[in-house]
A and B are shown apart, each in its own frame.
Chain A
Amino acid sequence: MTTTFEAVAEIISETSDIPLEEITPEKNAFTDLGIDSLDFLDIAFAIDKHFGIKIPLEQWTEELNENPAQVDEYFVLSKLCARIDEVIAAKDA
């Protein structure tokens, strides 16, 4: 069974044309992989579609605006995937 990270890594690779082997759990989507906010909309769309969820990007953006230093907590891929798992769990609850 594909893990959340594997699915997200494939989405990022396809959407942003980044080799799969460069996408590892400790990488930050923005600062390490060079994804910009427009590309991230495509990624968010693909994640929503793949998992049948609506990741709360607006809420995360508001939280980050209040505390920009926390960016790794949202966009390091291992943490992003943990947040996605939380959204999936909330949907299935």
Chain B
Amino acid sequence: MLLEYFQMIDRVEELDPENGRVVARAEVPMESPVFEGHFPGTPLVPGVLLIETMAQASGFMLLSRLKFEKMPFLANVTLAKMRTFVEPGAVLRVEAELEHDGSGFAKTAAHIVSDGKKICDSRLMFRIMPFPNETLKGNMLDRFSQISRSQAE
């Protein structure tokens, strides 16, 4: 994870776009500028970044289903629960499942587990839209290639 660059997913471990399921891995760094403020002397991953992590895992699954022809943008977060603190060095297993494939939108149910313990969970709604430009599309393809390639290594 590069928290300050919003690169939350390190590796896609399992991906089943047809059935709408993804499992990803994310390793919390030991140091990050984020921890300087959150919190001094007690570094913890902010809850909003855990939600972002679940959103990105869901997003890569949706991008795969959409064959990178459209982009899912996070639109709504419901039933989010932060169950325990996440400290530097934690290894996170991020799981997301498609709950509903609508027309122009999708909803997923996602959760994060670390050391066998549930960290957080949420329902996430995405608006599915055309890519606003080729730069973003290219960036998504590159990032997906990186985190999928590390799956094979």
A contact residues vs B (CB 8 Å cutoff): 38, 41-42, 44-45, 48-49, 54-59, 61
Contacts and interface: CB of A to CB of B under 8 A. Distances in A.
A83 to B, nearest CB: 12
Please provide the 8 A-B residue pairs with the shortest distance between their CB atoms, ordered closest to farther: A58-B104, A57-B103, A57-B104, A58-B103, A41-B105, A56-B103, A54-B103, A48-B102
19 contacts: A38-B75, A38-B76, A38-B127, A41-B75, A41-B76, A41-B102, A41-B127, A42-B125, A44-B102, A44-B105, A45-B125, A48-B100, A49-B100, A54-B101, A54-B102, A55-B102, A57-B104, A58-B104, A58-B128
Nearest to B101: A54
Contacts of A41: 75-76, 102, 104-105, 125, 127
A41 B105 CA distance: 7
Given A41-B127, A56-B103, A57-B102, 14 more contacts: A38-B127, A41-B75, A41-B76, A41-B125, A44-B105, A45-B100, A45-B102, A45-B107, A49-B100, A54-B102, A54-B103, A55-B103, A59-B103, A61-B104
Contacts of A38: 75-76, 127
A42 B76 CA distance: 9
Contacts of A49: 100
Interface of B: 75-76, 100-105, 107, 125, 127-128
Contacts, number: 38
The DSSP consensus for interface residues of chain A is: helix
Contacts of B128: 58
A42 B104 CA distance: 12
Contacts of B103: 44, 54-59
A44 B75 CA distance: 14
Contacts of B100: 45, 48-49
A60 to B, nearest CB: 8
Contacts of B76: 38, 41-42
A48 B107 CA distance: 12
